[in-house]
């Protein structure tokens, strides 16, 4: 009996720190403290990763130096999907549990996600020209990425079109969740469509085991991108928090300092 109550109380304490994330003032402080250090880590990782990727890594025996686009293409593509996931989940949390901070996280991730998707598309097509001979191939992955960009655009357009900020967050959360459910189906349908129209994709390059000297920069760049994402998101979140909470006491205190 006593142990049980002790357990539950300690569990309660363990969760206490988590509740702070629901407080805009605390999250603002958190973001201000961490955005810069995380950004610096990202910058260092970028420097190392770019050096490793562009100078140290040897050229590919098939694609020559053009493969070096992989070091920015793959992390962008990963982050484009990851941001959609983060955006939809935090929008969903905001919708269900009415947590303001969660809404604002979704709002600050959306433009970043659109940017990563755009980067993945541009680098993909610039990589496509030397490997496939054209800038655009209706390849399954590129097409999925394009649809993802449309989903991001729809989300941003909807949340900008509704004037009341709360209504905007809630309405676009529904859209994000519907999109999240739909995304695997869209991906599957595009893959299915792609296998039926094989003519479009020319030589799919075989996937031989990747050289460690190429793998290391890819991993470093992957982490660099993730840290960049985190830092940029915290910076954006700070702005969102300020403009959402402009009438509260804590914002006044920060502004007056």
Contact between 39 and another protein by CB under 8 A: the answer reads yes
236 binds another protein (CB under 8 A): yes
Going 187 to 193 to 198 to 199, the CA torsion angle's sign is negative
Decide if residue 228 touches another protein (CB under 8 A). yes
Rule CB under 8 A: is residue 196 a binding residue for another protein? yes
* Rounded Cα gap, residues 175 and 231, in angstroms: 26
Q: Which window, 14-22, 71-79, 82-90, 205-213, contacts another protein (CB under 8 A)?
A: 71-79
Tell me if 47 contacts another protein by CB under 8 A: no
CB environment 147-160: b (16+ within 10 A), e (fewer): bbbebbeebbeebe
Stretch 136-155: interaction string toward another protein, x if CB under 8 A:
-----------x--xx-xx-
Q: In this complex, which beta carbon is closest to another protein, that of residue 4 or of residue 66? A: 66
**Binds another protein by CB under 8 A, chosen from 78, 223, 235, 250:** 235
Q: Using a CB cutoff of 8 Å and minimum separation of 24, what contacts does 206-213 make?
A: 211/57, 211/58, 213/56, 213/57, 213/58
239 near another protein, rule: CB under 8 A: yes
Piece of 5-13, 63-71, 84-92, 207-215 that binds another protein (CB under 8 A): 63-71
| CA distances (Å), origin 254, targets 25, 235, 242 | 10, 16, 9
Among 190, 214, 218, 220, binds another protein (CB under 8 A): 190
**Long-range contacts made by residues 238-246, C-beta under 8 angstroms, separation at least 24?**
238/28, 238/31, 238/32, 238/35, 239/108, 240/104, 240/107, 240/108, 241/24, 241/27, 241/28, 241/31, 241/101, 241/104, 242/28, 244/24, 244/100, 244/104, 244/165, 245/24, 245/25
Of residues 232, 23, 22, 18, the one with CA closest to residue 108:
232
Binding segment toward another protein, per CB under 8 A, in 8-16, 19-27, 158-166, 208-216 = 158-166
Task: Decide: is 256 part of the binding site for another protein (CB under 8 A).
Answer: yes
For another protein, which residue of 87, 119, 137, 218 counts as binding (CB under 8 A)?
A: 119
3-state secondary structure of 166: helix
Return the DSSP state at 202: -
Residue 161 binds to another protein (criterion: CB under 8 A): yes
Name the token pair of 51: 């050096």
Is residue 25 at the binding interface for another protein, with CB under 8 A as the rule? Answer: no
Which residues of this protein are in contact with another protein, per CB under 8 A? 39, 54-55, 59, 64-66, 68-69, 72-73, 76, 95, 111-112, 115, 118-119, 122-123, 126-127, 129-130, 147, 150-151, 153-154, 157-158, 161-162, 167, 170-172, 174-175, 177-179, 181-182, 185-186, 188-190, 192-193, 196, 228, 231-232, 235-236, 238-239, 242-243, 246, 251-252, 254-256
């Amino acid at each position: 009996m006593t142990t049980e109550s002790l357990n539950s109380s300690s569990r309660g304490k363990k969760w206490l720190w988590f509740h702070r994330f629901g407080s805009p003032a605390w999250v603002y402080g958190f973001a201000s403290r961490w955005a810069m250090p995380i950004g610096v880590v990202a910058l260092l990782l970028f420097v190392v990763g770019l050096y490793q990727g562009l100078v140290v890594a040897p050229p590919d025996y098939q694609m020559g130096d053009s493969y070096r686009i992989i070091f920015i293409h793959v992390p962008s593509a990963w982050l484009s999907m990851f941001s959609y996931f983060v955006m939809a989940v935090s929008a969903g949390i905001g919708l269900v549990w009415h947590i303001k901070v969660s809404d604002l996280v979704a709002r600050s991730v959306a433009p970043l996600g659109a940017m990563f998707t755009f980067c993945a598309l541009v680098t993909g097509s610039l990589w496509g020209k030397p490997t496939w001979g054209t800038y655009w191939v209706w390849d399954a992955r590129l097409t999925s990425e394009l649809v993802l960009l449309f989903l991001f655009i729809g989300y941003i357009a909807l949340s900008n079109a509704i004037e009341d900020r709360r209504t905007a967050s809630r309405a676009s959360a529904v859209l994000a969740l519907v999109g999240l459910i739909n995304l695997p189906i869209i991906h599957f349908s595009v893959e299915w469509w792609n296998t039926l129209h094989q003519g479009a994709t020319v030589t799919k390059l075989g996937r031989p085991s990747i050289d460690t000297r190429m793998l290391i920069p890819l991993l470093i760049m992957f982490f660099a991108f993730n840290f960049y994402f985190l830092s940029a998101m915290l910076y954006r979140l700070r702005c969102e928090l300020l403009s959402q909470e402009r009438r509260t006491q804590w914002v006044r205190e920060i502004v007056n300092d």
